[in-house]
């Protein structure tokens, strides 16, 4: 929840998870995000096993599971995903992004 002059804003974790998955899926070298259907831009049933997001004291922590193109350097793709997600959290939600853990499947 973000408090500001005139009220507060509460965004559900499902909306945040979908937003972060969509952003991560746009990173070059990412073939898929577990629990996310890139074609429709929606979370799949049971996505909670693959995308975990928690917000505490204005800071967000998230975990994503991704598949990486075999011709890419995994650590470079992971760093790009972490940076893209961090920027998305801070720009769109106005929260500090404390941690982005990426699991490669």
> What pLDDT, in 10s, does the model give residues 6-15?
887 788 889 9
pTM of the model: 0.90
How high is the pLDDT of residue 16? 94
Q: Look up residue 50 and give its two tokens.
A: 């693959």
pLDDT of residue 1 exceeding 70, the answer is: no
Give the count of beta carbons closer than 10 Å to the beta carbon of residue 94: 11
Distance from chain centroid for Cα 60 = 10
Distance CA 22, CA 2 (A): 22
How high is the pLDDT of residue 18? 95
C-alpha dist (Å) from residue 39 to 7, 35, 62, 90, 94: 35, 12, 22, 25, 27
């Amino acid at each position: 929840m973000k408090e500001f002059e005139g009220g507060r804003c509460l965004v559900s974790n499902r909306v945040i998870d979908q937003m972060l998955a969509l952003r991560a899926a746009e990173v070059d070298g990412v073939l898929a995000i577990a629990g996310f259907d890139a074609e429709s831009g929606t979370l799949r049933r049971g996505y909670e096993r693959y995308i975990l997001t928690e917000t505490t004291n204005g800071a967000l922590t998230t975990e994503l599971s991704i598949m990486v193109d075999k011709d890419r350097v995994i650590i470079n793709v992971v760093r790009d995903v972490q940076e893209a997600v961090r920027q998305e959290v801070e720009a769109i939600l106005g929260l500090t992004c404390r941690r982005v853990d990426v699991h490669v499947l």
